[in-house]
Each structure stands twice: as C-alpha cells, then as structure tokens.
Amino acid sequence: MNKIIGIDCSPKVEAAVSDMLGGKCDIQFERFHDEMNFNGYQMIILEMGANQEYVSQQIRKLRYACNFKNIPIILIHDSEKDISSQPYMIAGVTEVLSLYDPLPACKQILSGYLIPNREPLVEELEYLKPFIKNTCHILKTMAAIDVEFKEVYFSNAIRIFGDVSGIMGLSGNVEGTIVVTFYWDMAKTIVAKMMGTEEGAVDAELIHDGVSEIINMISGTTKKEFVDSQYYFEITLPSVVVGPGHQIGHLQDTSVSALIFQVGNQSFALHVCIRPKNSQVNVRRGA
C-alpha cells in the first residue's frame, strides 16, 4: 500500500485527499516542521497557506528533505481563483491542484504519480552503466569521496531542484545532455576535496570550476567507453547553472534518466539524456 503524508492539511483537504486516495493508500497527516523525513513515502501532499513566500520556503525544505528522490510533492489549495503555479513549481512542487478542479482529473493525476516507476530498459542500461561506474570512479579519484549509486528513475521533463548544475551538451553521432546537480553544501564539500582546500575557502568561482570539471570528466571518461557504439558522442563546453528550481529541458521522445548517488547521508543527481542520431527521430502513434 502506498504511503502518503499530508502536511498542514485542513479538515477539508484531508477529507478530499482521503476521498480520492483513501481506499488504496495509507495516508498520514502532520504539521510542517523542519526535520521531516520522507523515507518510505510515495507522495507528499501540502496544503497551500496564504503566504506565498512561506509556502515556497516550505516546499524548498520538503524538496531538500527528499534528497533528490522522486517523491512527488502535491500542493493543494482551496481557492476557486486560478492561482499561478509558477512560484511553487520553481520551489520544487510537482503539481498544484485546486479543490475546485474536477475530481476525476485530480484523482487521475494523483494516481498517475503513484504508479510504480519503471525499471530501465536493456538498451538504457547499456549506456547508463558506464555513467554510473565513471561517476563513482571520478569522485573517488578526484575528491577521495566514496559514492554509492542508489537508484534511477525516468522522466522526460525533469526539473532539477539542486542549487548548482554542470551541463554538458552532446554532439557528434548523438544528441542529448548530461547534467550533474548538487546542493550547494555537497558541491562545496566535493570541490574543496578536489581542490585540496578548506570548504570555507570555496567560493562561487571555485564551485564553477569544480562542477565544470566534474561534468567534463564524467562525460569525457564515459565517451571513451562508447567508441564504436551507437552512443559515441563528442562533448562541448560545460556550462554551470545556479539558481532555484532550474530546469533543463531534454529531447522530446527520449527518456531522461535521473541517476541518484549517495555520499554519506547526502545525495546528488546525474541526468542522462542521450539519443543516437540514426535512431528514430519522429516517433508517432499507431492506430
């Protein structure tokens, strides 16, 4: 049975959520606090308070507490008015629903997010395994950090809720992007170890250089393993992006893998979106 946690929900929202999901989910309701732990939960439902900034802060904290795990955060409000979801999506929410939205739609959307994630296809594993191996190896070699691969999930429009990302555009025989994303503290820790300096001395410039180097090395090392395969790619110049809720759009019709790695009790993510140019470009429906 799916475990769901409802946070700061009024009796009205509690009743609506129970009505939509109660039969097949174990739903617990709690007040928001800073030390929330979401191990074992498949969904977080938060009721939108009146103060947008406070709600955004709540969402950011919830998203951080998810530690890159693919736990949908659903924000529910009780307003008939059309509320812009943008600030909340930026903060890290997965979906914003109104109690005035059609019940079947809300139910279907929530049910959709609760459907189990799929496992990678064989063809996906073919190119993911080298990335997993090399990410662990590079951080061990460059920063003397033990990295453990935890899980993979898929999307084709992933928003990255880290603080800083290194992005590598791919060219040559394939199209796609490789993106590594860290929370700021994790980035500082890794970059400090890479640069042989104290974390306190790591400034934005060092973060830039370090994160650039990490994505450069992961991409460059992995590229070599694809010689003579359909996934062989050329790398371009890495870009480093900062800012809350930044989103990297990937290729349409191509799965995007989010590989989650763990370092101690923190995590970081590597997104891999890769499509050989000679594979189908324009896939359409059948009947």
Site for another protein in 4-63 (CB under 8 A): none
Nearest to 28 by CA among 12, 8, 48: 8
Interaction between residue 241 and another protein (CB under 8 A)? yes
Tell me the window of 10-18, 27-35, 126-134, 162-170 that interacts with another protein (CB under 8 A). Answer: 162-170
Interface residue with another protein among 63, 77, 223, 250 (CB under 8 A) is 250
Shorter beta-carbon distance to another protein: residue 193 or 208: 208
Which helix (H) or strand (E) segment is 112 a member of? helix 103-114
H or E, element range at 64: helix 52-66
H or E element at residue 110: helix 103-114
Nearest to 271, CA basis, from 190, 167, 175: 167
Strand-pairing partners, residue 272, are 178, 257
Binds another protein by CB under 8 A, chosen from 11, 23, 40, 116: 116
- Tell me how far, at minimum, the Cβ of 231 lies from another protein, in Å: 17
Q: How far is the CB of 181 from another protein (least distance, A)?
A: 12
| Smaller CB separation from another protein, 228 or 282 | 282
Place of tokens 């042989």: 196
Binding residue for another protein, selected from 109, 136, 142, 195, defined by CB under 8 A = 109
Q: Which residue has the tokens 């009743």?
A: 15
Q: How far is the CB of 29 from another protein (least distance, A)?
A: 22
Out of 14, 61, 65, 114, point to the residue binding another protein (CB under 8 A). Answer: 114
Residue 169 and residue 174: Cα distance in Å, rounded? Answer: 10
Q: Which of residues 181-200 bind another protein (CB under 8 A)?
A: 184, 200
Of the candidates 104, 53, 95, the one whose C-alpha atom is nearest the C-alpha of residue 74 is: 95
∠ CA 157-163-168, rounded to 5°: 60
What residues between 260 and 279 interact with another protein by CB under 8 A? Answer: none
Residues 68-107 that bind another protein (CB under 8 A): 70, 72, 82, 86, 89-90, 95, 101-102, 104-105, 107
